Structure 1
Amino acid sequence: MTTQDLWILLIILPFTFTQSIFLFIDAKKKGSYPWFWGIWGLIQIPLPTLFYLLFVVLPYRRKQKGGNNK
């Protein structure tokens, strides 16, 4: 491992941990497979966050918005 690889790793790791923690906590609040989102957040950046926004957050907001109108 070169020093450049080490620097890249040291820069990316905090982002993956932060993403994973955010996804886990938010998915737990919304009741949407928190362990799945947390583990996937550790594996790569930024696809888990994008998919989480598309498949969990947007439907959750639509559900909340629709429930307030009734």
Structure 2
Amino acid sequence: MNLDMNQEKLLVLLFISPLLFAQSIFLFLDAKKKGSNAWFWGIWGLIQTPMPLLFYYLFVVRPFHKKRRPSS
């Protein structure tokens, strides 16, 4: 029984680790492009998912698009 639990934990770790790593790289590179605390977003992206993506959208992406929108 104990061996099965360890195998489950290992499988979860193998699936979640690449997801967190990819999320972190995406957040870091996009925040660096937009000039918005890239290290903060990259590190937070390594810690958990999906909250960093949601907050990044709300606090960086939406205001960035509003700034770039041409005034008529």
**Same fold by TM (over 0.5)?**
yes
Output the aligned Cα RMSD: 1.1
- The alignment status of 1:37 with 2:36, answered yes or no, reads no
Q: Indicate yes or no: 2:63 matched with 1:59.
A: yes
* Alignment TM-score, normalising by the size of structure 2: 0.90
> Which ranges of structure 1 fall in alignment gaps of 5 or more residues?
none
Segments of 5+ residues of structure 2 without an aligned counterpart are: none
**What residue identity is the alignment partner of 1:47?**
M
1:22 corresponds to which residue? Answer: 26
Structure showing greater radius of gyration is: 2
User: C-alpha distance in 2, partners of 1:25/1:3?
Assistant: 34
Which one-letter code corresponds to 1:29 in the other structure?
Answer: K
**How far did residue 42 of structure 1 move?**
0.2
